[in-house]
Chain A
Amino acid sequence: MSTSTTPTRTSRPDFKGRVSGLPTSAKIVLWALFAVFLFALPLLNIPFITTADSDFGGVLFTVSTYVLVALGLNIVVGYAGLLDLGYVGFYAIGAYVVGVLSSQHASLPWLVAVPVAIGVAMISGVILGAPTLRVRGDYLAIVTLGFGEIVRLSLINSQWLNGAQGISNIPRPPGVTLFELPSLDWSSGAPVVDLDNTTTFIKFGIGDFIPYYWLALVVIGLVLLFDILVKNSRVGRAWEATREDEDAAELMGVPTFRFKLLAFSLGAAIGGLSGALFAGKAGFISPDNFILLLSILFLAAVVVGGAGNRWGVIVGAIVVGYFPERFREFAEFRVLVFGLALMLLAIFRPQGILPPRRARRVRRADEREEHIEEGLPDA
């Protein structure tokens, strides 16, 4: 992971300044601590953060699928500037490929089905993108929306995919039973280590979602790394130039169509990966898992957080995935409150919670410049 990024970005600037001034080794330690904290989160059961009405481990898994999906969609919407309202289609394809290959029509292990799912999602991204990425942005929105619906309706109406009944008995990811980890119990007001409520490291069972959350965290880490590496290269620059001014980019030698298609299919692949992960955890998938509203929530996650900024997008995904679960007491007013929140956010924070961090980019570029100047013989 990038050592130039601090885990505590929302804190006071002086703190931020202090952190960024730390030597690299200390930053690595901080990062490691933060990672440990993330992994331990479902075991800590911190009051207030922990969801009361729904299992916290399960909620954290859901949130992490949102994060994963948002990272993928961010490549499409945030980097390449393509408005995709049908992203759930790729998510569904990923899940169903796993379902078909591991349960419905074959019995491959989950781990074997996942790469196939990513591949199929990616190919379907190319197939959808190749004809439609030539049309203008707003048209793309409705075409992708249609794609999402086509996928869902095909799932419902296709007997080969078992229609509305969905696919059951999808195998779980392979695990090894190593040791038990206890969780904390705060019911007395102070944390007490609860040895009754333990999680097996790492057994992907039925009744415990925490290992799935860990798996999702690892996958998110890998996707983030991929994101950072690719964004910070010719590919990332080409996406950004295309988003800023497609014609000018083309006239500067950027094959814009090719790069848009690349963004679209990479996004699709990550969507497929998230779907595959979801299928492995749920064990049962049906068209009800892939409703159109989900596409809109995914998009909301990206835009709410700040399209184009991967950290912002993660925050957005947490907002969209976590808050409705945390505030279940709003019960039937949940959607209403969520809608209000979206409107307020749009009005008062139009660039998203964390807008793309130009400042950070400038600093990084400064470092690079120093590097170049040092290397110059006649500077």
Chain B
Amino acid sequence: MQFLIDNFAALTVTGLAIGAVYSLIALGYTFVYGVLRLINFAHSEVFMYGSFAAVWVVMVIGGHPGGSIGQVIFWVALMFVAAMAMSGLVAVLIERVAYRPLRKRNAPPLIALISAIGASFVLSETMGLREKIAGWFGLDDTLRPYVNNSRNNVPLPSIIKPQGVFSIQGYEVTNVDIFVIVGAIAMMIMLDQFVSRSRLGRGIRAVAMDPEAAALMGVNRDRVIRVTFLVGGVMAGAAAVFYLLKIGSTRYDVGFILGVKAFTAAVLGGIGNLRGALLGGIVLGLAENYGSALVGTEWKDVVAFVLLVVILLFRPTGLLGESLGKARA
């Protein structure tokens, strides 16, 4: 307990940073759930592909430590573009291949989960076997730096050196911490505005509220669903960049645990609710850190899940309740 009080600032800042990443991934779950009432189990792989795109783009352009401010901004911007494009693409692909055929056949929801699990396996294994797969096309030597040690961690070339900006309670809050927290929250606000202001956003809300009525009103459901996956994917791509800046490497199976955490965050905040995802992610990130400080790091994940159960007991629809439809600006 004393430890928690003494290091409250450090635990809070780092918890916020990882929580912000959870939030951004959680958005994808929440979005798809809100519109399709479906747990997009493969969303974790969307994140993973984004993280690889970000790493590779830095490798391609030769990002290195100690670049000038302008260079660093350029590199990070490229990372965002690459990761968001890749994640968005993969998300739309998942929708197209794994979900739309089922929707057309009116399959029961459970089977969609199986399809999603299948898609998840396929995506992560493809990444984990990229050396072999590149080898089929004779590309493994050309792509050597990108396919080496397919099953291993792949580091992001370090482009930002963390530097203390200011300190609270003896903890140096670094530039990376600030960038991750502020950036992620800014993304969420932008998304919130998009959903409440834009025509597409209204379409999403309409489908979430009442698919049939929305169809009657001329909303193209398939298009809305595609946009939903795309937006969720793009956010996961952004999350991947923030994650890389904070953690520093990725792996073909990195999505699984993060996905479980992010899904927990989505449910914690109230699945289907955008602001719930934000709040859920941050609460989860903080709870993990405080919990680790109180009962030991080895119980970190246990703390997260116990918190979830406790909150669901008292607020059965999550902290902020569900419904994408009702999310107001």
Contact = CB atoms under 8 A, between A and B. Distances in A.
Contacts of B107: 346, 350-351
A350 B298 CA distance: 40
A143 B129 CA distance: 32
Contact of A304 (B102, B114, B298, B301): B114
A150 to B, nearest CB: 5
Nearest to B272: A138
B301 A135 contact: no
Interface residues of A, number: 45
Nearest to B41: A296
Interface in B101-152: 101-102, 105, 107-108, 110-115, 117-122, 125-126, 129, 132
Interface string A117-153: 0000000000000011011101101110111011001
Contact of B312 (A139, A335, A347): A139
B305 interface: yes
Contacts of A350: 102, 105, 107-108, 111
Interface residues of B, number: 44
B121 A342 contact: yes
Interface stretch (B11-19, B49-57, B260-268): B260-268
B309 interface: yes
B326 to A, nearest CB: 17
B162 interface: no
Contacts of A335: 121, 125
Nearest to B310: A131
Given A150-B306, A153-B298, A342 B118 contact: yes
B98 interface: yes
B114 A342 contact: yes
B39 interface: yes
A338 interface: yes
B132 A142 contact: no
A325 B115 CA distance: 22
Given A142-B267, A341-B118, A343-B97, 16 more contacts: A132-B312, A136-B317, A138-B271, A139-B312, A146-B264, A149-B301, A150-B302, A157-B298, A303-B110, A333-B129, A339-B118, A340-B118, A342-B114, A345-B118, A346-B102, A346-B112
B129 A332 contact: yes
Contacts of B119: 339, 343
A107 B309 CA distance: 35
Contact of A346 (B118, B267, B308): B118
B67 interface: no
Interface in A38-93: 77, 83
Given A135-B312, A350-B108, A153 B264 contact: no
Nearest to A140: B312
A343 B118 contact: yes
Nearest to B123: A339
Contact of A300 (B97, B105, B117, B306): B117
Given A131-B313, A139-B316, A332-B132, A346 B114 contact: yes
Nearest to A307: B110
A93 to B, nearest CB: 15
Given A135-B316, A336-B126, A336-B129, A351 B309 contact: no
